[in-house]
Amino acid sequence: MSVLQVNQIKKAFGSQEVLKGVSFEVAENSVLGFIGQNGAGKTTLMKMIVGLLKQDEGQIKVCGEEVTYGENQTNQWIGYLPDVPEYYGFMTATSYLTLCGNVTNYPKSDLAGRIEELLVLVGLKNNKKKIKTYSRGMKQRLGIAQALLNKPKLLICDEPTSALDPVGRKEILSILQQVKEETTVIFSTHVLSDVEKICDHIVLLHEGYIKLDVTPEQFRESYQVNKIQLVLSSQKEMDQLKTRFDVEVIDTHKECFVLSSDIEATQAELYAFLLEKKIYPRKIAIYQPTLEDIFTEVVS
């Protein structure tokens, strides 16, 4: 079942076309990595999904019901974490979530229990500090708790890890992995290593169009593996290698890629050559392209 359906969405600001016919679907209980360069239109589309911005053409459905600009009926199924969430700094996490629960008419008899459950999830249980003293990572974690408060069918996270240090990013990714058991997640980002860690599906937006709509496995399989990675011991070994193979040097005398159009044949020839020349690499491996490699190739 698709929690979100985006069909032929177009949007222009003046003469600038941002979205030129964008279509994709998001399956239930999955994490979608929504990727693209800065300015590609990811945030514009996120705002349309929650009814804060009107599309010029096309249709968006959440849980089978059409999203209408200016109305919030479909938002009953959506939790939203903006890229820079704002808070009342004088509050604690508990008092802030209590306010959010009251505003959204969350059942009062269940609210305290739900808040405690969420604060455990995001690692803020028993934290009595004022929100104004929180780090960026703590604020992002509180934002996830707020977005999950009403048990949404769809959680939209707009660049939740972009300004965080490695520890903060790891914490956010861990939380998003856990919550997909109870909701569906759209994870908009340009940090592609994060996508590799947690996403079940990837949509790449570039120049107003969807360029890729695939699983991570399909993403890699669509690009031929054509490199063997070597780490050598000396410049002499590197020079010897260059006499026989097409070599892309990464480090002047240590690391390189042997390029090939037939990876299996090149492997056999390379192993025979290394044995013949008594070259014993410190590392040899078939190079697996990262999402960054493939993304760079697609957008260029």
Q: What is the pLDDT of residues 11-40, one digit of tens each?
A: 999 999 999 999 999 999 999 999 888 888
Q: Are residues 38 and 86 in the same domain?
A: yes
C-alpha torsion 36→41→46→52, nearest 10: 170
Q: Are residues 49 and 194 in the same domain?
A: yes
- Copy the structure tokens of residue 291: 């999402």
pTM score, two decimals? 0.80
Tell me the C-alpha distance between 189 and 34, whole Å: 6
Q: Are residues 127 and 6 in the same domain?
A: yes
The strands making up 65-66's β-sheet, listed across from edge to edge, are 16-27, 2-13, 57-62, 65-66
Find residue 26's DSSP bridge partners: 4
CATH code, domain carrying 94 = 3.40.50.300
Q: What is the pLDDT of residue 280?
A: 93
Q: Are residues 52 and 124 in the same domain?
A: yes
Range of the domain at 32: 2-221
Q: Are residues 96 and 172 in the same domain?
A: yes
Tens of pLDDT along 251-286?
Answer: 777 899 998 888 889 999 999 999 999 999 999 988
Which residue shows structure tokens 């860690």?
197
Tens of pLDDT along 119-176?
Answer: 999 999 989 999 999 999 999 999 999 999 999 999 999 988 877 888 888 999 999 9
Q: Are residues 205 and 276 in the same domain?
A: no
Tens of pLDDT along 193-228?
Answer: 888 889 999 999 988 999 889 887 787 676 666 789
Listed in order, strand segments (DSSP E) in the chain are: 2-13, 16-27, 31-35, 57-62, 65-66, 78-81, 154-158, 184-189, 201-206, 209-214, 227-231, 247-249, 255-259, 283-286
